Every structure is written in structure tokens, then in C-alpha cells.
Structure 1
Amino acid sequence: MRNLKEQHYFLERFQGSRPIQTFLFLYEGQGSRLFWSFLLYVIKVSPAVLLPIITARVVDVISTRAPLQHLWMWAVVMAILLVQNIPNHYLHVRYLSMATRTMENRLRAAICRHLQHLSIGFYNRTSAGSLQNKVLRDVEAIEQLTRILFDTGLGALVFIVVALVTTAIRAPEFILFYVVTVPAAALLVRSMRGALSDHNSAFRKELEAMSARIMEMTSLIPITRAHGLEDQELKRVSHTLDRVKEAGVGLDSINAMFNAVAWVTFNVFNMGCLIVAGYVYYVQLLPITVGDVVMLSGFFGSLTNAVINLINLVPQMSKGLEAIRSIGEVLESPDLEHNSGKAVVKGVRGEFTFQEVCFQYPDEDQHAIRHFNLTVKAGETVALVGPSGSGKSTILSLVIGFNRATCGKILLDGKNMEELDLRTYRRFLSVVPQESLLFEGSIRDNVTYGLGKVDEDRLLEALKDANAWEFIERLPEGLETRVGEKGARLSGGQKQRLAIARALIRNPRVLILDEATSALDTESEHLIQEALERLMKGRTTFVVAHRLSTVRNADRIVVLAQGKIEEVGPHQTLLEQQGLYAQLYNRQAGVHQIH
């Protein structure tokens, strides 16, 4: 309950259209850690910030022949300032890390929780790679934005404040010189570097073209080798490589010129500051010392670098703020499966009644399902067949509750599914898809997924009924064998038998078989068909199968065409009617005879 309230509060406050306010909200509750991190940062960078001041005082000690102990005093001060950097840098990073990692964890948890509530339609429109990027890269970009602000941004501001305050005390009139020259120097240097972006972009495009050509070359190697076209292919690649070389040399040359000009420009301004400060001291326009001349010149360099760093922060900040907008596409998506407040399903008999059901996908002109009327008795097996695009998968999505009917009603045991909490209904449902979905883990973990601790006898019974035990007991590690990512260490038939075992162990009342045997060889299909017969016994089953020979024993076969029911009946009856089902069946039978 607490997590639900936290998630609701989080979603209310997160606004991708207002990234700055959202950025501040993400660190709600982390204020004290950020404050201590800020304070420790100011202390730990003090050696670099105060270096021009200490240098000035040392120069004054030497130039005025002051007592030697003054020199040792400044040496001790500098030593203390340098040594304190070690513990304070550690504590600064630790406090900042605790704040940013807490934010990362909180944001990623919120995204993952929200992903569990988004509709299947959302996932059909959004690539898995895009969602992974939001959870990993976008959250990381926000974390990097924080570190940049605290390290580069905060450091630049501290330098600016100390330089201006110290100058205001020692030579307030000199601030006007800073105000005019520092921004001019910084902007000039920045504009020179910025002018390189077009050349960098051109070079990057040549690199991308080269990468695409190399990938194309490697994919074509079997064809190239088979037709003896190696020399022609090398000529094509060589042309691309030459373009990259020319673009690279040009970019390096321009880089060299711009960097040299930027370096000279910066140092001309710096030298100008030194000359002006020296002149002011020489003619005593201001009451400053020799040390102050050194200090003012040192501050000019620090100020210019600080302003450049702040200017360079803008694109990096934009990247972090854009990441907040990107995450908002998920957290603010209205495409939710609404279950809260609806009736909890405590038991299922498995009777379904479809009353004038239709369904239309978003952005589609026509209905995928139209005027669908059907009553399925509890424990009955119904097969859905028909040409591609006839609406078979849409019916399964409606039964599972991935999609809700656009019009009409679907009754589950006499209750409108629109009024039910589908999460609780799905506890009584199992799906065996065409390609079984396994995760990196042991066979035991995959079969008992979501069930917690399962009795060993119950597990073995499910595996034996699924015809899976015969290959598992031959494995060196048995039930603890790791299946690899997506079950990569198992054959297609073995993965499918584990999927059946996963369904059996849940003892579902409603079963969905979606092309469960279509991708298997004859031997595997026989074992799985045998296991499916055990699984289907006494359960309401919806079967979609491409091979019509596998649905002959269904209680009823529903033949679909263009989203409408064309025929309904048992296998033999439909054959005798000589309708669409007979045409499809005879066509497949003819193909098999030819083979």
C-alpha cells in the first residue's frame, strides 16, 4: 500500500514538460546530503581557489623583505589546505554519491513499476531498446547532470565568487576590467571551438558511412566469395576508407589551427591583464602591491576558465534535461491498464460469452474483430483458425485481457470482464506461446517463476506430465541447470516442454495455446502434443494453430475471415460442409502429400 501511495505521488510530481522543476523534485529528501556535499566541495577546492591570493602574499613577503617567518606561515597554510583535500574530497563524493544513487534507484524503481501497469498496446508501439535506454541511459544522464553541476558548475561559481570578492577588497576598480574582458575572452575562445562542430559532424558522418560499408561487406562475404568478387568489394571499401582519411586529416588540421588561435587569444588577454595590472601598480593608479599584480593576473585566468566551463555546461545540461523529458514519455503515458477499484476475481470456472464483440486497433481504419458472438463452456477446447489477419491473435488478446473490447461485452462466468481486476483473473490463466519465454536462471526457477517455494513432488509431476523430465534427468546439474539467456542452452522442443510444465504447475482454469507446436520438428511435436493433451484436460482452452491437423480433436473449431466468424463446429462437420475450413484443410493436406 505504501509503495502504491509513493508511486502515485511520484507520478503526480514528475512532469517531463517542466524538466528543471522535476530535476529538483527528484532530489526531494536529499537536501542535507547535497548541502554537505556542497560545503565539503567548497572546502576541498580551497587550495586551487586561494592559490592566487597565497601566491600574492608570498611575492609581497619576498619583494618587501618581510620577516622570513611570514614565508613559513604561508607555506604551512598551503600545506594544511592541500592535505585537507583528501578527507574532504572523499566525504564530498560520498555524500553526493548517496544522493545521486538514491535518486537513480528511486527513479528506476518508479519506471519499472509503471512499466508493469502500461497496456500491451504501449509495448506494441514502443521498442524494447527504447525502453531499456530510458531506464539505463536517461537515468544515467540525469545522474551525470548532477555531478557536472556539482563539480564543473559549482567549481566555476566558487572561483568566480572568490575572485570577485577578493578583487573588490584589494582593487575594486579592477572589477570593471574583468567585467569587460573576461566574458569577451571566454566567448571568443568558445566561439572558435564551436566553429569546429560542422567539421566534426562531417567527419562523424564519414565514420558512420564507413561503419555501414564494413557491416555490409562482412554480411556479403558468402556471396562475394561464391562469385569471386573480392577485388571489386575491396575497391568499394577502399573508396570509403580514403574519404574517412581525407576527412580526418582535414579535421585534425583545422583543429590544430583553431586550438592554436584559441590558445594565443586566451594568452593575449591574460598578458593584457598582467600588463594593465603592472601599469596600474607602476604609476600607482590604485594602491596595490606587487603581489596584487600577480593575484589579479592569476584571477583573470581562473575567471576566464570558469566562464568557459559554465558556457560548456549548457549542452551537457540540455542532455540531462532532455533525459527527463524522455522518461516522461513513459511515466506520463496515459496508456494504462486500469484495474484499480474493480472487482477482485477469487475463482474461475472458465465460461466465456462474447456478445457482439468488436475491436479496433488505434490508428487503424477497420475493425480487427466485428460482430463476434460465441459461448464457450467451462472445460471446452475451442480452436481458432483462419487466414493470416483474420483476427485469431486479437481474440486471444481479448481473452487474456491485454486488450479490452471496443464495443460489445465479454462475460467471464457471467461477469463483464470490463468490471473485473484482470490482474487477479490472470492468476487462473496460463499461456503457452509459439516461442517460450525463458530467463537466465535454472530450470527450477523458470518453471516455478512467481510461485515461491514449490513442493518437490508437485514440481516433478508437472515436469513429467510435460514430457520434460526425461531430458532434465540427463543433465549434469538436473533442475539446477542454467538455461542461458532466453533459454539459449536448450533446444526449441525442450524450451516448449518447460513452458508447458510452467503452465501445468499453476493448475490454471483457462489455457491459451498460441501456435504452441508450429516451430517444432516432428519428434518434438509428438512429445509436446502429448503433454498438451494432459494440460488441456478439464480446462477451458483457446487454441490458435497454423497446422490444422493439430486442432482436429478440439470440441469446436471457430473459422475466422476478416474479423468475422465464418463457421463453427467440430472438425468432421466442418469438412462435410465444404466451406472455408475444408478449403484450408485440403490445401494443407495437399501440400503435405506433395512433401
Structure 2
Amino acid sequence: MAGRRALWAGRIRQTVPMRQAFSHVREVRPEIVEGAHPVRSVLRLLGLHRWRMAGAVAAFAVKETPVWMLPVVTAQIIDIVVAGGPASSLWLWAGIALATLAQHYPNHVLYTKLFMGAVRSLGAGLRNALANRLQQLSIGFHTRANSSIVQTKVVRDVENVEVMLQQVTHPLLSATMVLIGAIVMTAIEVPQFLPVYALAIPLAVLLRAILMRRSRERNELFRREVEHFSARVGEMASLMPITRAHGLEHIATDRVAAGAEGVRTAGYRLDLLNGRFASLSWVTLQLLGVACLVLAAYFAISGLLPISPGQVVLLSSYFALLTTAATGLLMLLPIIARGTESVRSIAEVLQDPDIEHNAGRAVAARPSGAIALDAVTFRYPDADAPGDPPTSAPALDGLTLSIAPGETVAFVGPSGSGKSTLLNLVLGFVRPTDGRVLIDGVDASTLDLRAVRRHVSVVPQESVLFEGSIRDNITYGLGDVHDATVEQALRDANALDIVTALPEGWHTRVGERGARLSGGQRQRLSIARALVRDPSILLLDEATSALDSESEAVIADALSRLMRGRTTLVVAHRLSTIRSADRIVVLERGRIVEQGSHDELLAADGRYAQLHRVQAG
């Protein structure tokens, strides 16, 4: 069943070409984002927008002039007051203050446009890179990965990186400008006091080192708990019909509550750590600020340094700005820790090596439909422990089979006999452990399978529809399709009457997963979707097994038109639906035990005849 789900989920992913990134969004290559070096990764991402960032830093440096200039103005005015004039100097310094304040607004707007433009483009680039990587990753990855966790990485983790840049960059640049301004002006006014400023930097670095050692572990634990909780919520939503039907609401609620408790506990421990650190940082740096004020006043009173009252205020103001900036940055360390942990989470997808390699391989023309399996063996990678010799039976074991163009071949056998695995191999979602799969006589491992799949259509047991109109679902991924083509596909799928009876016709929205349509209606739309693609190869996996007898007859009639002139591989449990197949292949434990037409197999009185008698009952 897992193999079948992977087959159809993968088919939908592979049929839709990735949209090209918008011109203002830079492509993010997977190798840029390294989980082991999240800070370096963020700097590389910002480097993709270096000119915007350079302009933003320049605008920020100008707009922040009042922060370090106003203490100078204040000091000068105090000294003018102490000296008793002249009053004309007051107007000069007032004009300087007014000019520095007036430029703040336009430069702040310019900084916001440049910086936030870069951050938002960076976020879009990360989401595009994740989407592109998810398209490249093998079906094996998507079978293992929980869709809710993947969604969390694309939505929440990228948002965390954006929030980190938004909330950290401004204070960081501000602290840098204050530090530069304070050092320059102090070097001009009271150079002997510069060593005191040096105390704030190592102290802030020491406090950061103390926190980061413990914060990384707790942030990772919190992220894992959130991902686990997202998986539980997704599971609850998908199991809702079963839960309600069996009166198991309390079980579902308890499972989600257990996940919520894990998030609460991990989050509380992280908050407690951040709270203790915040208080320790604030008290330490404020004590340092008070010490600076007292020291400057003592030097002025004692005459050890030639410091005027205005310069005492200047030094105290600068040190207060420095300690406030350092405290603000230290308060942002939890956000930095969360953002860098999200970078590691994003890297788990971007650096996952389990990708389907198609780049540089031959792009085949429209296939005739000839398919051959040459001594194919396939064993699922997780069937045995890593490093151990294989002990479990392979899903397919040395299977050899040739299918001619236009031939209809049905596969029957008990669950676990390898039917869905065989279809996965034909589509290239999994690769043979041994042997070869040939398309028109060419080894599929040498082909760009994306080009091959453009000429393949799949009709699954449960139709995969998305929230959108009927027409959108039928023409999914094809771009502009003529209305007459869509109408003919609906007619051949025995779905035109259904669509025309709807108030909005084929513009009617089907609801999430096609919830507004019946099973038979969804299946007819799935057949229309296959017809409109005019495939060379058709795969049918239990296409009628979930339907009632009346719907099955209608669907079977539509399928007969769909199969005409195409190479068709059919997986079916109901033997009544495959009597007209050119050939029926009986599988058991990954091997072919017999094959032939319906009449030939009944006459042979073998395994197929036994299955037929059981169903005829």
C-alpha cells in the first residue's frame, strides 16, 4: 500500500514543471545552505543580494547619524551653559541636530526598501529551492518523509530565517554604527578613556558563548517537537473519517495532546533558559554602565584626566548606548538560535542526497510503448539493517518480461507479490537493484525520465485531485489546452454529462482532494486527465476496485477508449475487469508463475484458474 501511495503522489509531483523563479528572486543553490555552518550559510544567502545589502548598509549608516551625533550636541550645549555662552553657539548646534534628524526619514525608507526587498527575495528563493529539491528527490524520500514535517520546513523554518534577519540586522547595524561613532568621537574628545569601552566587547562575547552552548541543544529539541506535533496534526486530519466512524475521538485528541505537551515542555525549558540569560546580561551590562559614569565623574573631579562636565555626559551617554545595544543584541540571541536551527532544518532537505538524477541524460522522443524488464531484481533499501547481508525476500526477483507497443498486460497476484513495485520501476520512481528496465530498447537508467513521463498517464485506485476547477484538474500542468480537446476528453471519459449538469460547468471547484464529487465522478475526471495528455504508455492501478458495480461499468467503458492503441499495464484484484487483456501475468513473491490470455490461463488450470474460482465463488 505504501508503494502505491508513493506511486501516485510521485506521479503528481513529476508531471508539473517547476515555475521559473521571478526575475527579482535569485536562485538558491542547495550547496549554499550547510546545516553544519548555519551562520556561514546566511551570509552566503545575503551575498546573493550584495548590491542591495551594500546600499541598505550605506543608507543605514547615514540615517543612524543622530544616535552618535546627539550626545556630541548635548555635551557641547552643556559646556556652553557651564561657560555662560555665547548664545549664538546654541543655534549652531541646534541646526546640526535638526539636520541630522531631518535626514532620518528618507534614508530609513530607502534602507527598508533595499533591506526588506533582499530579505523577502531571500525567503522566496529558499522556498523555491526547497520546492525544486522536493521535485528532484526520489520517491523513496517522499515515502519516508512526513508531508506535515516537509510543510513545516517550507513554511515555518523559512519564516524563522526571515524573522531572524528582520529582527537582528537592525540592532546589529545600529550597535556597529554606535560603536564606530563612539570610538571616533571619544578618540577626538577623550582618547584616554578608550580602554574602558573595550570591556563591553569581551563581556558580551563571553555572555553569548555561555548561552549558545546550551541554547543550540534546546532549540533543536524544540524544533523536533514542533515537527513531531505537525505530523500528529496532519495525521489527525487525514484519519478524521476513520476516527469519527469508530468513535475514537478521544484517542486522536490524546495523541495530539501528547504532541502539544512535548512542544510545551521543550518550549518552556527554552524560555526559562532565555529568561535567566536575559536578566544576567541586563544586570551585568548595566553595572558596567554605572561604573563608567562613576569613573568618568571621578576623573573629572580628581583632575586625573582633563574631562569637562559635558564630556562626562558624552562618555556616559556613549557607554549607555553601547551597553543598551549589546544588551539588545544579547536579547536577540534566542531569535538567532531559532533562525540558525531553522537553517539546519532547511539544509536537511537541500542536502539530502537521495535525488533522482536526470540532468545530462538523453531526452527520448515520444516512445512507441515497448517496455522490457531484463532480469530485474528489486529490494527495498530498508528491508534489512544497513550493512547486514540481505535476508528478506526481494520485492521482485529476477523478473524478465517484454511488452509490445499497444499491448495490454494485466498483473494479478496476492498482496506483496510485486505488482505496484513493477509499476514504480516502469515509471522510474525506483531503480532496479539488479537488471535493467528498457523503454523502446534503451536502458531507462540512461534516459531523462522526466521526458519519458510526459508521455505516460496514470489512473490510480483513488483519484488525486486538488482544490481548483474541474478544467484545472484535467489540464493540470499542460498550460493552454483548447476547449474542444477538454470537451472530447470529458466525453470519452463518460464525464461530460456530469460536468454540464453542474451550475458552473467545468469551472466548478471540486473541493480539497475532490471532496465535492463522488468516487465515480472523481475517477472519470482522472480518466479525462489521462486522455487529454494522449499518452503512449498507460498505467492503471486498481482503477475500478473502489467503485460500485454500476460506476465500475461506466468507468470500464471509459477505460476501454483510453486503452485503445496504447501500451497499457493494469494492476487488478477483480479478475472480471481484465478478461479482455492481451496478456495476464500472474505474480507471486516477485516472480512470474504463469502468463497468457484469460482463456489460456483458465485452460491451464493453474494459479490464475484457482484465483478465478475463488472470486467466482
Indicate whether the TM-score tops 0.5.
Answer: yes
Contact between 1:389 and 1:562, CA under 8 Å: does it hold in 2? yes
Matching residue of 1:593: none
Contact between 2:372 and 2:400, CA under 8 Å: does it hold in 1? yes
Where do residues 77-476 of structure 1 align in structure 2 (5 Å cutoff)? 77-180=96-199, 184=203, 267-364=286-383, 365=390, 366-476=393-503
- 1:586 to 1:54, Cα distance in 2 relative to 1, 3 A: farther
Contact between 2:410 and 2:569, CA under 8 Å: does it hold in 1? yes
Tell me the amino acid that sits aligned with residue 367 of structure 1: P
SS in 2 for 1:288: coil
- 1:362 to 1:518, Cα distance in 2 relative to 1, 3 A: same
Contact between 2:274 and 2:334, CA under 8 Å: does it hold in 1? no
Matching residue of 1:550: 577
Contact between 2:212 and 2:337, CA under 8 Å: does it hold in 1? no
Matching residue of 1:502: 529
- Give the Cα separation in 2 of the matches to 1:226 and 1:433: 29
The 10-residue stretch of structure 1 (168-177 or 499-508) with the greater mean CA deviation from structure 2: 168-177
The 10-residue stretch of structure 1 (530-539 or 340-349) with the greater mean CA deviation from structure 2: 340-349
Tell me the amino acid that sits aligned with residue 32 of structure 2: F
- The alpha-carbon deviation at position 372 of structure 1 amounts to 0.9
The 10-residue stretch of structure 1 (280-289 or 115-124) with the greater mean CA deviation from structure 2: 115-124
- The alpha-carbon deviation at position 378 of structure 1 amounts to 2.3
- Give the Cα separation in 1 of the matches to 2:432 and 2:246: 52
The 10-residue stretch of structure 1 (256-265 or 197-206) with the greater mean CA deviation from structure 2: 197-206
SS in 2 for 1:109: helix
Are 1:477 and 2:496 counterparts? no
- The alpha-carbon deviation at position 555 of structure 1 amounts to 2.4
Contact between 2:410 and 2:584, CA under 8 Å: does it hold in 1? yes
- 1:51 to 1:194, Cα distance in 2 relative to 1, 3 A: farther
- Give the Cα separation in 2 of the matches to 1:261 and 1:209: 33
Are 1:42 and 2:69 counterparts? no
- Give the Cα separation in 1 of the matches to 2:72 and 2:610: 94
- Give the Cα separation in 2 of the matches to 1:142 and 1:106: 12
SS in 1 for 2:502: coil
Contact between 2:456 and 2:537, CA under 8 Å: does it hold in 1? yes
- Give the Cα separation in 2 of the matches to 1:445 and 1:368: 37
SS in 2 for 1:451: coil
Listed one character per residue, the Cα deviations across residues 155-213 of structure 1 (whole Å, up to 9, x for unaligned) are 11112222222222222222333334675589679979999999999999999999999
SS in 2 for 1:557: strand
Contact between 1:13 and 1:22, CA under 8 Å: does it hold in 2? no
- 1:21 to 1:271, Cα distance in 2 relative to 1, 3 A: closer
- The alpha-carbon deviation at position 285 of structure 1 amounts to 1.3
Listed one character per residue, the Cα deviations across residues 418-453 of structure 1 (whole Å, up to 9, x for unaligned) are 333322222221111122222232211221223333
Tell me the amino acid that sits aligned with residue 14 of structure 1: I
- Give the Cα separation in 2 of the matches to 1:442 and 1:486: 12
- Give the Cα separation in 1 of the matches to 2:503 and 2:541: 32
TM-score normalized by the length of structure 1: 0.82
TM-score normalized by the length of structure 2: 0.79
Matching residue of 1:14: 32
- The alpha-carbon deviation at position 580 of structure 1 amounts to 3.2
- Give the Cα separation in 2 of the matches to 1:341 and 1:483: 39
Are 1:538 and 2:574 counterparts? no
- The alpha-carbon deviation at position 88 of structure 1 amounts to 0.8
- The alpha-carbon deviation at position 116 of structure 1 amounts to 2.9
Q: RMSD of the alignment, in Å?
A: 4.4
- Give the Cα separation in 1 of the matches to 2:297 and 2:437: 89
Tell me the amino acid that sits aligned with residue 528 of structure 1: I
Matching residue of 1:566: 593
SS in 1 for 2:372: strand
Contact between 2:370 and 2:404, CA under 8 Å: does it hold in 1? yes
- Give the Cα separation in 1 of the matches to 2:543 and 2:173: 60
SS in 2 for 1:504: helix
Listed one character per residue, the Cα deviations across residues 477-515 of structure 1 (whole Å, up to 9, x for unaligned) are 111112233323322222211110011122222110012
- Give the Cα separation in 2 of the matches to 1:140 and 1:78: 38
Where in structure 2 are there 5+ consecutive unaligned residues? 1-19, 384-389
- Give the Cα separation in 1 of the matches to 2:225 and 2:141: 36
- Give the Cα separation in 2 of the matches to 1:129 and 1:209: 9
Contact between 1:186 and 1:304, CA under 8 Å: does it hold in 2? no
- 1:283 to 1:193, Cα distance in 2 relative to 1, 3 A: farther
- 1:539 to 1:23, Cα distance in 2 relative to 1, 3 A: same
SS in 1 for 2:381: coil
Contact between 2:152 and 2:227, CA under 8 Å: does it hold in 1? no
SS in 2 for 1:25: helix
Tell me the amino acid that sits aligned with residue 510 of structure 2: V
The 10-residue stretch of structure 1 (527-536 or 186-195) with the greater mean CA deviation from structure 2: 186-195
Matching residue of 2:7: none
Contact between 2:293 and 2:316, CA under 8 Å: does it hold in 1? yes
- Give the Cα separation in 2 of the matches to 1:418 and 1:576: 39
For residue 518 of structure 2, the aligned residue among 476, 479, 491 is: 491
- 1:527 to 1:508, Cα distance in 2 relative to 1, 3 A: same
State the number of aligned residues. 570
Listed one character per residue, the Cα deviations across residues 327-376 of structure 1 (whole Å, up to 9, x for unaligned) are 34433444333334443322333222222111122233342101212222
Contact between 2:373 and 2:400, CA under 8 Å: does it hold in 1? yes
Contact between 2:71 and 2:317, CA under 8 Å: does it hold in 1? yes
- Give the Cα separation in 2 of the matches to 1:168 and 1:87: 30
Tell me the amino acid that sits aligned with residue 271 of structure 1: V
- 1:529 to 1:457, Cα distance in 2 relative to 1, 3 A: same
- Give the Cα separation in 2 of the matches to 1:339 and 1:570: 37
- Sequence identity, in percent? 44
- Give the Cα separation in 2 of the matches to 1:151 and 1:337: 41
- Whichever of the two has the greater Rg, that structure is 1
- The alpha-carbon deviation at position 326 of structure 1 amounts to 3.7
- 1:327 to 1:205, Cα distance in 2 relative to 1, 3 A: closer
Contact between 1:381 and 1:554, CA under 8 Å: does it hold in 2? yes
Where in structure 1 are there 5+ consecutive unaligned residues? 591-595
Are 1:60 and 2:79 counterparts? yes
- Give the Cα separation in 1 of the matches to 2:296 and 2:324: 19
- Give the Cα separation in 1 of the matches to 2:401 and 2:586: 12
- The alpha-carbon deviation at position 323 of structure 1 amounts to 4.0
